[in-house]
Structure 1
């Protein structure tokens, strides 16, 4: 999958984990070459620096821009250090503005705090990620790593977790979610978990759900549990479609993927509505989307970086 949004990378699995935020400013589609010209990139970075120079820190009374440094030859970008916000004088945020492969503008960001990690250590981590960030125009030939809006991130890591949410312009009540974890230990499976939760539930609650499909299917070449139900919420007709992969050996190319498509119910920020589709229509969309999910060729190296 080529993530349509920005990304957040976590370093470390304990309470002291670090974050890198990955942002890809709006540009031309990845199929277009060049996506952004060098002069447009330089202009955008200069504008960002000027914005920071013009803003003042209320504590230090200095510019919000602390420093700016061109990256080394071959890296093709700039390292910016700024105050994290105007109300603090000791917290910083470092940004790398990168023109990956002379094709794609990407921003890598991370905060630094004086009582945890110096800005220099944060910036070393950012620079290392920048070295392992490249652009592509053909997703099928993007190579190893995690794709985000036309760039591939292939830094050293020991887990991949991703969450995506999609909505429909035509069907405002439709919400499709994907939650993927590569190396999580396999449990008894989605259907077994759901059945266990229903044990002891009131009969009226269990009878409120009408099952359209329940059993096994294939998702991205992996065995998966599937459950398709209709039910009512606040008197409105809804549909819930779920699938989750099951695998004997957790791998980057065999993640646990949990897919959910919901219709009807409360529209975000709005009123409750019935599902805008009948059962046959929503099943047709569900089957088309789920069957389109497949492993990307070459997404994982022999040894994961």
Structure 2
């Protein structure tokens, strides 16, 4: 790994990022979002749950009845609250679940649960509540699990999990750099999908050129990359894309994407992005080459 870079764990993968970058993360589990809340003791946890329960017990303006159904205790002090997603007559629940992972609190909201699936939802939530762990400060996560910030859901339950990592580079506000992953497979590879569009772009846009368009495996990960750059009014723009199409229902081989963009902005020069193609490519290659499945994650 390069100096002044660090290894970051997210989902079931590791990626190296500049140590000075600001990282913005989001995660979904079973297609529903996870929210990592601040450190909390028992009193704060109880307060969060009680506040949400009170909200659900207050009738909404358009309904005469409160949406609250019941509060259910889970393992390790976790709690889930069932409420009506729309109205009671439509028979669709939603859940607000507050998981405990050591001192950490994770909020998980799941929508559109038919009444007939309530027991199945409870089994799933109970299983999750038994699997959350806090990651000790300064340590890399070990073993099976889906990493969410400084916590890990230590399970390999087949599901449609995903994550997104936005990397805000220090001193480069004009650069948008993102890494993402979701369980699923693209029907076609990146170069198959982009071929015709790319040809038209290159033919229509003055100064637009193709830097790369080829297969770009990273270790065992099969992937493609397309890198395009262009100059307009003296400013250099970039559109980089790397994608591993993934395999259906595979936690170990999800669809992985990396994108880098420098587009039109309030900045008239490249001082807030890259001084040259070589600088852009060096950062891109270092990041893409570092992506790997965390050992033992699955």
How high is the TM-score relative to the length of structure 1?
Answer: 0.69
- When residues 273 and 94 of structure 1 are mapped into structure 2, their CA distance, relative to the original with a 3 A threshold, is farther
Equivalent residue, structure 2, for 1:147:
147
* Cα separation, partners in 2 of 1:203 and 1:181, compared to 1, 3 Å: closer
Structural mapping, 1:283-298, within 5 Å: 283-298=281-296
Cα-to-partner distance string for 1:206-250 (whole Å, 9 max, x where unaligned):
764223345455535535433332125799631122223478999
Question: Tell me, what secondary structure is at the counterpart of 2:76?
Answer: coil
Counterpart CA distance in 1 for 2:167 and 2:88 is: 39
Task: Provide Cα deviations, 1:149-192, integer angstroms capped at 9, x if missing partner.
Answer: 233332521555544444446323211233435562785x4345
In the TM superposition, what whole-angstrom CA distance separates every residue of 1:235-274 from its partner, at most 9, and x where no partner exists? Answer: 96311222234789995434442311111225xxxx5865
Pair 169,93 (structure 1): closer, same or farther in 2 beyond 3 Å: farther
Is the aligned partner of 1:26 residue 2:38? Answer: yes
Equivalent of 1:68 in 56, 63, 71: 71
- Map 1:54-203 onto structure 2 (within 5 A): 55-58=58-61, 61-71=64-74, 74-84=75-85, 88-90=87-89, 91-100=92-101, 102-112=102-112, 117=116, 119-137=118-136, 140-153=140-153, 154=155, 156-157=157-158, 160-168=161-169, 170-181=171-182, 184=185, 189-191=189-191, 193-198=193-198, 201=200
More displaced 10-residue stretch of structure 1: 140-149 or 235-244: 235-244
**1:233/1:45 CA distance change after superposition, 3 Å:** farther
Match of 1:38 among 23, 42, 47: 42
1:2 aligns with 2:5: no
Q: Decide whether the 8 Å contact of 1:264 with 1:272 is kept in 2.
A: no
Q: Could you tell which deviates more after superposition, 290-299 or 150-159?
A: 150-159
Query: Cα gap change, 1:95/1:176 in structure 2, threshold over 3 Å: closer, same or farther?
Result: same
Q: Is the 8 A contact 1:175 1:263 kept in 2?
A: yes
User: What is the DSSP-based 3-state SS (H/G/I as helix, E as strand, rest coil) of the residue aligned with 1:140?
Assistant: coil
The answer on whether the counterparts of 1:94 and 1:119 sit within 8 Å (CA) in structure 2 is: no
- How many residues are paired up? 271
**1:239 aligns to what?**
238
Greater RCO structure (CA 8 Å; 6+ sep): 2
- Cα 1:5–1:204, aligned 2, differ >3 Å: closer, same or farther? closer
Matched residue SS, 2:95: strand
In structure 2, the partner of 1:48 is: 52
1:277 deviates by: 2.0
CA deviations 1:36-89 (Å, max 9, x no partner) are 433332333333334444x32346544454322333xx432222123446xx45
RMSD: 3.8
Deviation at 1:25, TM superposition (A): 1.4
Asked if structure 1 preserves the Cα contact closer than 8 Å seen for 2:202 and 2:208, the reply is: no
Q: CA deviation at 1:95?
A: 1.8
Match of 1:225 in 2: 224
Residues 182 and 219 from structure 1, CA distance in 2 versus in 1: closer, same or farther, beyond 3 angstroms?
Answer: farther
Instruction: Describe the superposition over 1:8-55 as per-residue Cα deviations: whole angstroms up to 9, x where unpaired.
Output: 334xxxxxxxx543222134xxxxxxxx433332333333334444x3
How far has the Cα of 1:299 moved from its partner? 0.5
What's 1:31 paired with? Answer: none
